[in-house]
Amino acid sequence: MVGAGHTHALYLPGTSPLHRARPQCKIAAGLLFVLAVVATPREAFWAFGLYALALVGLAMVAQVPLAFLARRLVIELPFLLFAVFLPVVGHGERVEVLGVSLAVGGLWAAWNIVVKGTLGVATSVILAATTPTPELLRGLERLRLPTVLTTIAGFMVRYGEVISDEVRRMRIARVSRGHDPRWIWQARAVAASAGTLFIRSYERGERVYLAMVSRGYAGSMPVLEDMAATRAQWLAALALPAAAALVAATAWGVRP
């Protein structure tokens, strides 16, 4: 049967201190850490080394295998491709590397994108690996994100699978009737399926709303439990971005 016993793509169940931390603390800490990383001057190699070490340490505490982390980092590849072009097409002073003439400014820009992008993605991978999606949403709500947005995000998570399942069934039904789209002019059936899917999802939306109204929904989601974090929890969570901010400030200070 659909949906019985499949795995999460991003979440790794566990009981580490990182898993137990309040989601709003983790989200805020992650965001501030990334801000500190981005604010660091690109020449300060040692600072990025420290950030990377901190993230590896965090992954160890959270029992997130580094191989898992590395696999998840693949998602940033399309962005890195862009960075690869910068040294080639850049203007200004140039250096020869293995016989290829590269722009120095472009190299710095590429390094900047690669290192900050990787550290940022690694931070969010660790956050997602230690926080189940519903908790992430509740954390965002605690951080005063408008409930309309968290509610919509919640529906997306909930119905994404239902809809992709519908897409899969429609595709199988098409293929079973001999449809074998290879060329663009054969895309008509796919386009028609997309239209049908839209109508069906729209109708499902109406039915979901009807079911919600039948259970007393009057326009706002009830707040179910108080997830407030204590001062100690906030302090523990913010220690990492505070340290990162210190590193970033030092990097600016020692800059030649």
| Site for other proteins, rule CB under 8 A | 1-6, 133-134, 137, 154-155, 157-159, 161-162, 204, 207-208, 210-218, 221-224
Least distance between other proteins and beta carbon 180 (Å)? 31
DSSP-based three-state secondary structure for 27: helix
CA distance 93 to 20: 51
Query: Using the 8-state DSSP alphabet, how is residue 223 labeled?
Result: P
Q: Of 93 and 225, which CB lies nearer to other proteins in the complex structure? A: 225
* Residue closer to other proteins, measured from CB, 71 or 200: 200
Considering only the C-alpha atoms of the chain, give the largest distance between any 2 of them, rounded to a whole number of Å.
Answer: 71
CB of 233 to other proteins, least distance (A): 21
Identify which of residues 42 and 204 has a Cβ nearer to other proteins in the complex.
204
Residue 243 class from Cβ within 10 Å (0-12 exposed, 13-18 middle, 19+ buried)? middle
Residue type, 22: R
Name which of 213 and 254 has its Cβ closer to other proteins. 213
Q: How far is the CB of 224 from other proteins (least distance, A)?
A: 5
Give least dist CB 82 to other proteins, A: 35
Task: State CA 8 to chain mean position distance.
Answer: 14
Contact present, 116 and 135 (Cβ < 8 Å)? no
CB 154 → other proteins: shortest distance, Å? 6
Torsion 200-201-206-207 (CA) sign:
positive
Closest to other proteins by CB, 177 vs 207, is: 207
